[in-house]
């Protein structure tokens, strides 16, 4: 399992306060990794550092064996990262189809093929192709954000709390989709507060607490850890 | 009745040029959220470019209009590099001031290069008027309307039908997220400045035949562009065009019956009223975001 994403001792500060301290983690090819932690633990901060919205103070960030710290956001994305942000951030004035199209960097035929694939992944979107981004329901926006993140056929997909604001049933559907995405060759890093669900669909997990990674291991092993049970699973 | 119709047609011809001015202005507002108060001076720069090129070669403006557009595109990118990108993380009012300063620099450059007096650029095709019954329209006015119609239609197609247009819109809506889907947002913002400035320049070249160019002539144009965008709904491209038409009709008709000063004064009063009564503009409804 070669390291697709390698993060070593990453430190991120917001002004005088740190949000991540010596975070070390990796995602390999063909795996789904969960990043779990309570509100304010630093999950979104880690994702924003990976895509380059934030500049880490120190530490290494390697993707596909390349140091990406000097690259602009769009360069990192084009290397093979897909990002579905917290809060979805679909383009509100673009139609559903346009939201998907803007993220494809390939010829016209290929563009149409990939858009169709997103529609077959999320049939609900297919029926609302001409609706504007802001007109969608929260769940539909979430599907669109994930579909858009897959348009570049990324090697690594970053999903920041995709179940936020979804009904339990829809959240299950979205999380169940993760196995299929991994099978198609895209590794997944998933930030979730719903630990039970995250551990159920991921191979490994890291537990983040106030900016520090306090636990790491296979999903099966973590499920049985006392700390995880106590802190997150209510048992 | 005939005189009124004549006035309306004159107003529409002026409105066609104003529409190009407002269109370029709204592009830049959309792409950056920044109000470019050098915009009117860039219109004058286009006018001066036409004056300069016209004095080099005694040919109708239509032949060198593409060159004016190219020169102005470069000037717009330079403006972005100088007055926008260095201030990108500052509040919008900073960019407002920096573009205002660039406008003043341009006004002084015009004095140095062309002197304080007014100049006229060569006509688009030829001077003279065409008669339609009792209505007469200058050939320049017809040319202006045709050029504006072509450019407005191509803008519409660019923004709605092409991949680059979609990416320009995505960048305008959420720059950071555009980058996060792989779009080189900074290059597109620079291109937007170029495109908006090219439109301003073409408008200037068209206006510079009938209305002359002079160093401070751009100042009211910046304000008109601003008013057009406020009337049309902040950020709406179609609204900006309609807003520009309303301003020019208003100016032409009120100046004919009352006076030019009254027209200008009333226009500014209207702007204030819109701010208070209908801040989203007369036509505009801004894209809403879901919480
Ligand atoms: N822009 C900011 N400026 C200052 N502090 C910030 C900023 N963004 C986040 N923080 C702080 O950094 C810490 C980590 O925030 P982050 O958003 O990464 O948490 P999270 O794990 O994603 O939480 P949630 O589950 O609520 O999304 C928090 O304490 C937060 O208050
Ligand atoms: Mg978060």
Per-residue confidence at B288, pLDDT binned at 50, 70, 90?
A: very low
CATH code, domain carrying A9: 3.40.50.300
Establish if B177 touches chain A: CB-CB under 8 angstroms.
yes
Cβ distance B73 to B103 under 8 Å?
Answer: no
Given a cut of 50, is residue B128 above it in pLDDT? Answer: yes
**A140 within a domain of the structure (yes/no):** no
**A113 within a domain of the structure (yes/no):** no
The number of distinct structural domains making up chain A is 1
- The protein residue whose alpha carbon is closest to atom 17 in ligand 1 is A44
**CB of A41 closer than 6 angstroms to any ligand 1 atom:** yes
Per-residue confidence at B289, pLDDT binned at 50, 70, 90?
A: very low
Q: Do B177 and A132 touch (CB under 8 A)?
A: no
Least confident stretch, A115-119, A191-195, B234-238, B243-247: B234-238
**A125 within a domain of the structure (yes/no):** no
Look at residue B291 in the predicted model and tell me its pLDDT.
Answer: 32
CA distance B137 to A5: 68
Average pLDDT, chain B: 88
**A65 within a domain of the structure (yes/no):** yes
Neighbours of ion ligand 2 (CB under 5 A): A 43-44, 86
How close does chain B come to A8, measured CA to CA in Å?
A: 22
CA distance B200 to B221: 10
Look at residue B290 in the predicted model and tell me its pLDDT.
Answer: 34
**A100 within a domain of the structure (yes/no):** no
Establish if A103 touches chain B: CB-CB under 8 angstroms.
yes
Look at residue B126 in the predicted model and tell me its pLDDT.
Answer: 81
**CB of A193 closer than 6 angstroms to any ligand 1 atom:** yes
Q: Which residue from A minimizes the CA distance to B187?
A: A74
**A117 within a domain of the structure (yes/no):** no
How close does chain B come to A5, measured CA to CA in Å?
A: 17
Residue A37 Cα: closest atom of ligand 1: 21
pLDDT tens-digit profile of B39-96? Answer: 999 999 999 999 999 888 888 888 899 999 999 999 999 999 999 999 988 887 888 8
Cβ distance A144 to A90 under 8 Å?
Answer: yes
Establish if A148 touches chain B: CB-CB under 8 angstroms.
yes
Non-local CB neighbours of B166 within 8 Å, separated by 6+ positions:
A94, A98, A101, A102, B159
**CB of A18 closer than 6 angstroms to any ligand 1 atom:** no
Per-residue confidence at B1, pLDDT binned at 50, 70, 90?
A: low
Look at residue A234 in the predicted model and tell me its pLDDT.
Answer: 59
Cβ distance B48 to B71 under 8 Å?
Answer: no
- Residue A124 sits at the vertex; the CA angle it makes with A119 and A127, to the nearest 5 degrees, is 80
Residue A53: which of B176, B183, B185 has the nearest Cβ? Answer: B176
Establish if A164 touches chain B: CB-CB under 8 angstroms.
no
User: Which sign, positive or negative, has the C-alpha torsion B168, B174, B179, B180?
Assistant: negative
**CB of A14 closer than 6 angstroms to any ligand 1 atom:** yes
Give the Å distance between the CA of A40 and the centre of ligand 1: 5
**CB of A37 closer than 6 angstroms to any ligand 1 atom:** yes
DSSP string, A172-231: HHHHHHHHHHHHTT-EEEEEES-HHHHHHH-SEEEEEETTEEEEEEEHHHHHT-HHHIII
Ligand nearest, relative to CA of residue A85 = 2
Chain B residues within an 8 Å CB radius of A89: 174, 177
List the end-to-end C-alpha distance of chain A, in Å, as a whole number.
33
CA distance A61 to A26: 10
CA distance B53 to B61: 9
Look at residue A73 in the predicted model and tell me its pLDDT.
Answer: 97
Look at residue B212 in the predicted model and tell me its pLDDT.
Answer: 85
In the structure encoding, which two tokens stand for residue B191, read together?
Answer: 């291109």
Residue A91: which of B173, B182, B184 has the nearest Cβ? Answer: B173
Given a cut of 50, is residue B287 above it in pLDDT? Answer: no
Enclosing domain of residue A164: 3-87+148-233
**A75 within a domain of the structure (yes/no):** yes
> Could you tell me how many residues make up chain B?
291
Q: Which residue from A minimizes the CA distance to B166?
A: A102
pTM for this structure? 0.88
CA distance B251 to B254: 5
Q: Say which residue, A48 or B250, is predicted with more confidence.
A: A48
pLDDT tens-digit profile of B168-205? Answer: 999 989 999 999 999 999 999 999 999 999 999 999 99
Phi, psi of B24 (to 5 degrees): -65, -35
Ligand nearest, relative to CA of residue A19 = 1
Establish if A47 touches chain B: CB-CB under 8 angstroms.
no
Tell me the pairing of strands A32-36 and A187-192: parallel
Residue B47 CA neighbour count, 13 Å, CB half: 31
Given a cut of 60, is residue B120 above it in pLDDT? Answer: yes
Of B88, B176, B177, which to mutate for an interface test with A (greatest number of A Cβ within 10 Å)?
A: B177
Residue A74: which of B169, B182, B290 has the nearest Cβ? Answer: B182
CA distance B44 to A108: 40
- Report the DSSP beta bridge partners of residue A6: A26, A62
- The protein residue whose alpha carbon is closest to atom 6 in ligand 1 is A14
**Residue A124 exposed, middle or buried by CB count within 10 Å (0-12, 13-18, 19+):** middle
CA distance B224 to B245: 11
**A203 within a domain of the structure (yes/no):** yes
Look at residue A1 in the predicted model and tell me its pLDDT.
Answer: 45
Cβ distance B136 to B130 under 8 Å?
Answer: yes
**Residue B271 exposed, middle or buried by CB count within 10 Å (0-12, 13-18, 19+):** middle
Look at residue A2 in the predicted model and tell me its pLDDT.
Answer: 60
Look at residue B124 in the predicted model and tell me its pLDDT.
Answer: 84
Low-confidence ranges of chain A (pLDDT < 50): 1
Given a cut of 50, is residue B19 above it in pLDDT? Answer: yes
Look at residue A136 in the predicted model and tell me its pLDDT.
Answer: 95
């Amino acid at each position: 399992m070669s390291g697709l994403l390698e993060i070593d001792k990453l430190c991120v500060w917001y002004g005088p306060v740190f949000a991540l301290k010596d975070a070390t983690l990796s995602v390999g090819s063909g795996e789904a990794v969960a990043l779990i932690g309570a509100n304010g633990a630093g999950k979104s901060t880690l994702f924003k550092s990976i895509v380059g919205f934030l500049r880490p103070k120190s530490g290494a960030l390697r993707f596909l064996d390349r140091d990406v710290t000097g690259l602009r956001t769009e360069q990192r994305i084009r290397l093979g990262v897909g990002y579905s942000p917290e809060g979805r951030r679909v383009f509100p004035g673009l139609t559903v189809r346009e939201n998907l199209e803007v993220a494809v960097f390939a010829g016209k035929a290929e563009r149409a093929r990939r858009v169709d694939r997103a529609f077959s992944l999320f049939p609900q979107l297919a029926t609302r192709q001409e609706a504007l981004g802001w007109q969608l329901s929260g769940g539909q926006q979430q599907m669109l954000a994930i579909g858009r993140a897959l348009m570049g056929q990324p090697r690594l997909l970053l999903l920041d709390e995709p179940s936020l604001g979804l009904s339990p049933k829809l959240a299950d559907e979205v999380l169940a989709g993760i196995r299929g995405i991994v099978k198609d060759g895209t590794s997944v890093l998933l930030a979730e507060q719903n630990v039970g669900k995250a551990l159920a669909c991921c191979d490994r997990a890291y537990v983040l607490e106030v900016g520090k990674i306090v636990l790491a291991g296979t999903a099966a092993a973590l499920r049985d850890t006392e700390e995880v049970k106590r802190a997150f699973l209510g048992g | 009745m005939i005189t009124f119709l004549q006035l309306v047609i004159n107003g529409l011809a002026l409105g066609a040029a104003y529409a190009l001015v407002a269109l370029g202005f709204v592009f830049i507002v959309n792409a950056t959220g920044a109000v470019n108060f050098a915009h009117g001076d860039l219109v004058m720069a286009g006018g001066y470019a036409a004056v300069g090129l016209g004095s080099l070669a005694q040919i109708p403006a239509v032949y060198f209009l593409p060159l004016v557009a190219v020169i102005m595109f470069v000037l717009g990118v330079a403006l972005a590099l100088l007055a926008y990108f260095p201030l990108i993380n500052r509040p919008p009012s900073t960019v407002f001031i920096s573009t205002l300063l660039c406008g003043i620099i341009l006004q002084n450059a015009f004095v140095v290069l062309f002197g304080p007096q007014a100049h006229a650029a060569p006509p688009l095709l030829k001077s003279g008027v065409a008669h339609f019954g009792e209505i007469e329209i200058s050939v320049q006015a017809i040319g202006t309307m045709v050029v504006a119609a072509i450019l407005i239609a191509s803008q519409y197609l660019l923004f709605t039908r092409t991949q680059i247009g979609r990416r320009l819109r995505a960048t305008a809506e959420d720059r950071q997220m555009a980058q996060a889907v792989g779009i080189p947002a900074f290059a597109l913002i620079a291109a937007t400045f170029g495109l908006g400035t090219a439109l301003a320049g073409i408008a200037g070249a068209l206006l510079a035949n009938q209305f002359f160019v002079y160093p401070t002539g751009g100042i009211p144009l910046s304000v008109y562009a601003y008013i057009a965008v406020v009337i049309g709904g902040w950020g709406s491209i179609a609204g900006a065009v309609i807003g520009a038409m309303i301003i020019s009709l208003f100016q032409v008709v009120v100046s004919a019956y009352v006076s030019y000063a009254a027209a200008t004064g009333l226009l500014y009063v209207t702007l204030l009223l819109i701010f208070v009564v209908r801040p989203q503009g007369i036509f505009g409804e801004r894209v809403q975001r879901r919480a």
